[in-house]
Amino acid sequence: MKELVTVIVPVLNPDINPVEERLLHHSLQMLSGYPLIFVTYEGADLSIVREHHEDIDIVHFPAEFFRSRDAFARLLLMEDFYLRFNWCDFLMVHELNSWIIKDELYYWCKQGYDFMKAGAAGHVPGNFFQQLTGYSPAQKEAFASGFENNGLYLCRIERMLSTLAGLKKTAYQYRHDTSLHQADAVFWKCEANRLWPRLRKPSRIVTDHFARNVADLAELKPDRLPFALTGITRANFNQIPFFKSMTEADQ
């Protein structure tokens, strides 16, 4: 019998900064009830990670995919990545720029969606006609900027594989477009359902209950917080009221 979901934590740079370390420690606590695997390259020194959890599971991929976030995006557009985790129905990719607020992972796996990701920050261009004609390079780049540091998504492995197989040529182009940032987010947003609904995705209203960018935190009521927050960086962590209040409570 397959596992319902496995949590994947990519480690591009083993020398994680203090904010990433805090996000990691929190995630290990909040997601302790689920299988959790670190993804990195052979030979990466994960001693900092082991300080928080001694017995960790690691899956290695070629080092070329861990040289930058854009390089890692190419791995997320390869069937081989998802095939490595075919013992489970769902993957939750959890980069160290996201914070889990509630233990709702089981709930979201049972909602019938194939792909869930926090919406893009800021204004993202495009309309219905772009779904038929495709997006310009400038529009794709605008999508990419809206998904920067938006590193949390939940997906059904079977549907991701079938989508990549059905859009093999397009996925290949995205993997090799060196001018495009956040190629994985742009592909799943702009291409996966462009001419045919290959993935069941939630509405923006439902998506906002799944995850929100920290830029939207001011408009959220304390009793209406989503499952997770994304967009967290070393530059903004100490300015986010949500985390400032938590730090004060710890003191």
Q: What is the distance between the alpha carbons of residues 143 and 125, in angstroms, rounded to a whole number?
A: 7
Model-wide pTM > 0.75: yes
Q: What pLDDT is attached to residue 217? A: 81
Work out the average pLDDT over 162-178. 97
Q: What pLDDT is attached to residue 120? A: 81
**Alpha-carbon Rg for the chain in angstroms:** 18
The residue that leads in pLDDT, 158 or 196, is 158
The percentage of residues in the chain with a pLDDT greater than 70, rounded to a whole number, is 92
Domain that holds residue 100: 3-250
Let me know how long the chain is: 251
Q: What is the mean pLDDT of the chain?
A: 90
Work out the average pLDDT over 12-40. 93
Work out the average pLDDT over 225-236. 93
pLDDT band at 249, cuts 50/70/90?
very low
Q: What pLDDT is attached to residue 250? A: 46
Q: What pLDDT is attached to residue 203? A: 93
pLDDT of 246 strictly over 70: no
Q: Which residue has the tokens 């702009």?
A: 190
pLDDT of 126 strictly over 80: no
pLDDT of 131 strictly over 70: no
Q: How many domains does the chain have?
A: 1
Joined together, the tokens standing for residue 39 give 């993804």
Joined together, the tokens standing for residue 8 give 């994947």
Name the H helices within the chain.
18-30, 47-50, 69-75, 79-83, 105-109, 130-133, 137-146, 157-166, 168-175, 183-190, 204-210, 241-250
55-90 b/e (C-beta count within 10 Å ≥ 16 → b): eeeeeebeeebbeebbebbbbbbbeebbebbeebbb
pLDDT of 142 strictly over 90: no
CATH number for the domain spanning 219: value is 3.90.550.10
